[in-house]
């Protein structure tokens, strides 16, 4: 049966609002807000600049490109427009459920308050949903509020999250440079969130290894891991770390998953079914993974971790959910049943009430993936 990745329903849990602007919108907003620092003045050149600059091999340099998206997202109108377009773009991409994240503290330069930022984005998300459903789409969207790990506002952002829970906001995250900024720096924020029954994920195991993942889970209590690719540092095959030869490990896992030995942290993540929000193209750009072919997501999928597939930053990676899925099919041998698995995994792991998750899994995902078999 033909695999039409574009029309299959997809679920994305890890997509940054400020990493997904349309290049034309960046230009419009820069003009409107008097932002003069853009590196290009024409749509194609700007699009190329973002993906080339992000292709840096380093997370810190990759993150520098966000100066120009955050720079033009400083008014309520701009935030609502970006949020609205994000939803219609995701719907167009075949996404049926999305959690979109951004850091409210980065949008205060023109005098907005944190609450105004959240309300503007929520309005845009609602408008996007309405627009998409008018066009026959069926997307549902939630927002995750991110605190920047190098800054010191995580407690405020945790409180902001709890204040807005249940409207559009569904959880909390920390992002930004990982090396030198361990998750435990933000322990009070995570304690506060747990005491208020709020969901959170943590970017961990992208630009730093196992200690970051361990802290995120065992000290902070993260329900999910943003990336988590470095979990491979805790997996061995025939006594050698799998990272030494990922292509060989991936080939072996497809037929002989029992040959691998998991260290205590990898075993914990697998046994507790902790969801991994994996973002192949982004990881290749920042150097967290060597290539799409040798990306650990395929190994972890075959070892039965709860793996999900995500975009991270559609603008910086010039990507979409359809493209990420197609890349895995074309370059890493993924099948329709693999795509079904990551979509169901993602929906199981969403920060949405259980009954709503189940309704999407049973009513949308399974019928579409199982159609015609
Ligand atoms: O892959 C990533 N790793 C760490 N931080 C990231 C990544 N992608 C984006 N951001 C950071 O998250 C902020 C809020 O959306 C962005 O401004 C960017 O600095
Ligand atoms: Zn991210």
For residue 373, report the distance from its CA to the centre of ligand 1, in Å.
Answer: 39
Average pLDDT over residues 201-207: 96
In a domain, 103, yes or no: yes
DSSP state string for 51-120:
HHHH-SS-HHHHHHTHHHHHTT--SHHHHHHHHHHHHHHHHHTTEEEEEEEE-GGGG-TTS--HHHHHHH
**Rounded-to-integer distance, Cα 61 and Cα 81, Å:** 27
Residue range 103-119, pLDDT digits in tens? 999 999 999 999 999 99
Provide the domain limits for residue 220.
Answer: 10-370
Model pLDDT, residue 93: 97
Average pLDDT over residues 132-142: 92
Any atom of ligand 1 within 6 Å of the Cβ of 70: yes
Residue range 21-54, pLDDT digits in tens? 999 999 999 999 999 999 999 999 999 999 999 9
Give the sheet arrangement for strand 201-204, strand by strand: 201-204, 224-227, 276-278, 307-309
Going by C-alpha positions, the residue among 237, 234, 196 that lies closest to residue 217 is 234
Residue range 314-354, pLDDT digits in tens? 999 999 999 999 999 999 999 999 999 999 999 999 999 99
Rg of the chain on CA atoms, in Å: 19
Confirm whether residue 111 is marked as ligand binding.
no
Average pLDDT over residues 83-110: 98
Q: What is the pTM of this model?
A: 0.98
Confirm whether residue 14 is marked as ligand binding.
yes
Going by C-alpha positions, the residue among 108, 115, 178 that lies closest to residue 148 is 178
Residue range 249-296, pLDDT digits in tens? 999 999 999 999 999 999 999 999 999 999 999 999 999 999 999 999
Residue range 164-201, pLDDT digits in tens? 999 899 999 999 999 999 999 999 999 999 999 999 99
If one counts every other C-beta atom within 10 angstroms of the C-beta of residue 103, the result is 24
**Rounded-to-integer distance, Cα 8 and Cα 373, Å:** 14
In a domain, 3, yes or no: no
In a domain, 262, yes or no: yes
Going by C-alpha positions, the residue among 51, 127, 47 that lies closest to residue 91 is 127
**Rounded-to-integer distance, Cα 181 and Cα 227, Å:** 16
Average pLDDT over residues 13-18: 98
In a domain, 199, yes or no: yes
Going by C-alpha positions, the residue among 346, 12, 351, 18 that lies closest to residue 171 is 351
**Rounded-to-integer distance, Cα 334 and Cα 194, Å:** 37
Residues with a known catalytic role: 206
Model pLDDT, residue 167: 87
In a domain, 5, yes or no: no
Residue range 225-252, pLDDT digits in tens? 999 999 999 999 999 999 999 999 999 9
Q: Is the pLDDT of residue 1 over 70?
A: no
Whether residue 125 contacts residue 100, with contact meaning beta carbons closer than 8 Å, is answered with yes
For residue 176, report the distance from its CA to the centre of ligand 1, in Å.
Answer: 5
For residue 8, report the distance from its CA to the centre of ligand 1, in Å.
Answer: 27
Going by C-alpha positions, the residue among 358, 346, 320, 238 that lies closest to residue 6 is 320
Model pLDDT, residue 137: 85
Q: Enumerate the β-bridge partners of residue 11.
A: 97
Confirm whether residue 203 is marked as ligand binding.
yes
148, 151, 203: which to mutate for ligand 1, most atoms within 8 A of CB? Answer: 203
What's 137's domain CATH number?
Answer: 3.20.20.140
Which ligand lies nearest the alpha carbon of 20?
1
Number of domains in the chain: 1
In a domain, 2, yes or no: no
In a domain, 143, yes or no: yes
Q: Which two tokens stand for residue 249?
A: 């490990």
In a domain, 1, yes or no: no
Residue with tokens 């609602």: 126
Q: Is the pLDDT of residue 373 over 80?
A: no
Residue 372 — pLDDT band, cuts 50, 70, 90? low
Any atom of ligand 1 within 6 Å of the Cβ of 71: no
Q: Is the pLDDT of residue 96 over 80?
A: yes
Any atom of ligand 1 within 6 Å of the Cβ of 282: yes
């Amino acid at each position: 049966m033909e695999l039409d990745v574009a029309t299959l329903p997809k679920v994305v849990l890890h997509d940054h609002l400020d990493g997904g602007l349309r290049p034309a919108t960046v230009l419009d907003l820069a003009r409107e807000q008097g932002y003069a620092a853009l590196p290009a003045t024409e749509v194609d050149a700007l699009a190329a600049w973002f993906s080339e600059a992000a292709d840096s091999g380093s997370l810190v340099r990759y993150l520098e490109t966000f100066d120009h998206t955050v720079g033009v997202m400083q008014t309520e109108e701009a935030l609502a427009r970006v949020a609205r377009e994000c939803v219609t773009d995701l719907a167009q991409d075949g996404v049926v459920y999305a959690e979109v994240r951004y850091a409210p503290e980065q949008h205060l330069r023109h005098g907005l308050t944190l609450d105004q930022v959240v309300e503007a984005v929520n309005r845009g998300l609602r408008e996007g949903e309405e627009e998409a459903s008018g066009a026959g789409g069926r997307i549902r969207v939630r927002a995750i509020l991110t605190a920047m790990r190098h800054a010191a506002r995580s407690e405020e952002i945790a409180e902001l999250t709890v204040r807005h829970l249940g409207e559009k906001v569904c959880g909390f995250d920390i992002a930004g440079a990982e090396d030198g900024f361990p998750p435990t720096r933000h322990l009070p924020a995570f304690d506060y969130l747990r005491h208020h029954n709020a969901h959170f994920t943590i970017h961990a195991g992208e630009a730093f290894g196992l200690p970051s993942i361990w802290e995120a889970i065992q000290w902070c209590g993260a329900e999910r891991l943003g990336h988590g690719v470095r979990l491979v540092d805790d997996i061995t095959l025939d006594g050698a770390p799998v990272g030494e030869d990922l292509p060989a490990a991936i080939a072996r896992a497809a037929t002989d998953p029992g040959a691998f030995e998991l260290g205590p942290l990898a075993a914990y993540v697998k046994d507790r079914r902790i969801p991994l929000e994996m973002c192949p193209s982004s990881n290749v750009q920042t150097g967290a993974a060597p290539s799409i072919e040798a990306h650990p997501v395929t190994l972890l999928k075959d070892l039965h971790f709860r793996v999900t597939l995500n975009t991270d930053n559609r603008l910086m990676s010039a990507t979409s959910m359809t493209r990420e899925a197609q890349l895995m099919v074309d370059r890493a041998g993924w099948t329709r049943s693999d795509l079904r698995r990551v979509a169901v995994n993602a929906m199981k792991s969403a920060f949405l009430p259980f009954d709503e998750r189940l309704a999407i899994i049973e009513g949308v995902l399974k019928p579409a993936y199982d159609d015609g078999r």
